[in-house]
Homo-oligomer: A and B are copies of this chain.
């Protein structure tokens, strides 16, 4: 008789290593790893202290959110229906200037709570006060790839200081919290950092053997500005200065030429598709089908609640596939299974974690979610992938396991105190932004 810590039985399993599904499946977890995934009939006799009867539920790898700024959860609902420039300059930046460490922590905790409840088990974040995000990740039990943001904006000294801080953060948190925290360096964008700084960032990332997380080709306006300065596209510019020589996580990628797409493919850049935020800010459509055809690894992200306004990858997946069907006027583009891959396997790969997470396979870290398929919106069940992508919502997630720990069971949280997290966020939001009467 084998020994495990957690035994999940009776569910339909979507391992995401292939399109095959497992009916009446069993997942066994020992320490922080998956030690068995398969049919109940081939599971043998596994003993475990903790058993989860998952009949009527669907197990899938925890969802991977590859682009967010989680502390900005505090800003949800400010500055709505505004152009990007006004949104940034008149609302977001002045607020960020006032943001204290404790505010960032309160926002990050609320964001982690929301992600956990929505079945997101791993996320990539770039922002200021990233040590506060690390604290929230540590307490929530989630997995994350964190980076202290670097924005030069014409001020060389500031750029250097931020790079130092970003490196310091990376060194401090590398392999922290039982290996649940990973790090990157994160220049804000090609237009807000000088070529020299961008090159230094890449050099340091290479030295530390970590990746780089950047906003790329998000805004047509900024794109034109950069083109005027450098005489080429954002992608061409970054390629010329050697920025793509190493692991790169590039969010948005809306304004790309065919040449840009080929460069991204050639350099193995990981693209993060951010459909909700791109639509909400009226920025355009990233043409994902073409990227996939060129062999680019495309993952998905929510962006922050300031431009989304939720941290729900189920919603992002539905928006993401529907937007591609619209872009190509073809409902066959980006079918349900391919979309779910973007939020699991491809997400893991985009973060350089494909050997640890992204699928449900023996030996992988135990990041598992159970979706409650007894809900009326998931009935009847003709196609499990279609129900996940087109009919499911974060609120349908029942159980969340990360790194072998049960963080949520039957929607009850084990690590975070929901009421306390919400009250803390409300207090800090009220201080930062007093409500109009």
Chain A residues near B (Cβ < 8 Å): 74-78, 80-84, 87, 110, 113-114, 117, 276, 278-285, 305, 308-312, 315, 318-319, 322-323, 325-326, 328-333, 335-336, 374, 376-377, 379-383, 385-387, 390-391, 393-396, 418, 421-422, 425-426, 429-430, 433, 435
Distance of A379 Cα from B426 Cα, bound (Å): 7
Interface pair B331/A87, CB less than 8 Å apart:
yes
Name the distance in Å between A413's Cβ and chain B's nearest Cβ: 10
Tell me which of B80, B83, B336 contacts A390 (CB under 8 A).
Answer: B80
Q: Which residue of B lies closest to A117 (CB)?
A: B376
Tell me which of B76, B322, B333, B379 contacts A382 (CB under 8 A).
Answer: B76
17 A-B residue pairs with Cβ-Cβ distance under 8 Å, sorted by A, are A74-B380, A75-B382, A76-B386, A76-B387, A77-B380, A77-B391, A80-B390, A82-B331, A117-B376, A276-B322, A282-B330, A285-B326, A309-B387, A311-B377, A315-B318, A319-B322, A379-B426
Interface pair A309/B390, CB less than 8 Å apart:
yes
Interface pair B377/A84, CB less than 8 Å apart:
no
CB-based closest 9 A-B pairs: A380-B429, A279-B322, A309-B390, A77-B382, A395-B395, A81-B335, A77-B386, A77-B383, A80-B386
Report which residue of A74, A310, A394, A396 has the largest number of chain B beta carbons within 10 angstroms of its beta carbon.
A310
Distance of A396 Cα from B285 Cα, bound (Å): 29
Interface pair B323/A279, CB less than 8 Å apart:
yes
Interface pair A280/B77, CB less than 8 Å apart:
no
Name the distance in Å between A282's Cβ and chain B's nearest Cβ: 4
Interface pair A281/B76, CB less than 8 Å apart:
no
Interface pair B114/A377, CB less than 8 Å apart:
yes
Interface pair A329/B391, CB less than 8 Å apart:
no
Interface pair B80/A329, CB less than 8 Å apart:
no
Report which residue of A82, A283, A335, A382 has the largest number of chain B beta carbons within 10 angstroms of its beta carbon.
A382
Interface pair B282/A328, CB less than 8 Å apart:
yes
Contacts known (A81-B335, A87-B331, A331-B81); A281 close to B74, Cβ less than 8 A: no
Q: A76-B380, A312-B393, A374-B422 are in contact. List 7 more A-B contacts (CB 8 A).
A: A77-B382, A80-B385, A81-B336, A87-B331, A279-B326, A310-B393, A382-B433
Interface pair B328/A390, CB less than 8 Å apart:
no
Distance of A84 Cα from B393 Cα, bound (Å): 25
Contacts known (A282-B328, A308-B390, A310-B390); A78 close to B377, Cβ less than 8 A: no
Tell me which of B82, B276, B335 contacts A80 (CB under 8 A).
Answer: B335
A328 contacts which chain B residues (CB < 8 A)?
282
Interface pair B110/A391, CB less than 8 Å apart:
no
Interface pair A76/B433, CB less than 8 Å apart:
no
A280 contacts which chain B residues (CB < 8 A)?
322, 325, 331, 390
Interface pair A282/B329, CB less than 8 Å apart:
yes
Distance of A76 Cα from B421 Cα, bound (Å): 37
Distance of A78 Cα from B379 Cα, bound (Å): 12
Distance of A127 Cα from B395 Cα, bound (Å): 31
Interface pair B323/A77, CB less than 8 Å apart:
no
Name the distance in Å between A334's Cβ and chain B's nearest Cβ: 8
Distance of A315 Cα from B315 Cα, bound (Å): 9
Q: Which residue of B lies closest to A422 (CB)?
A: B379
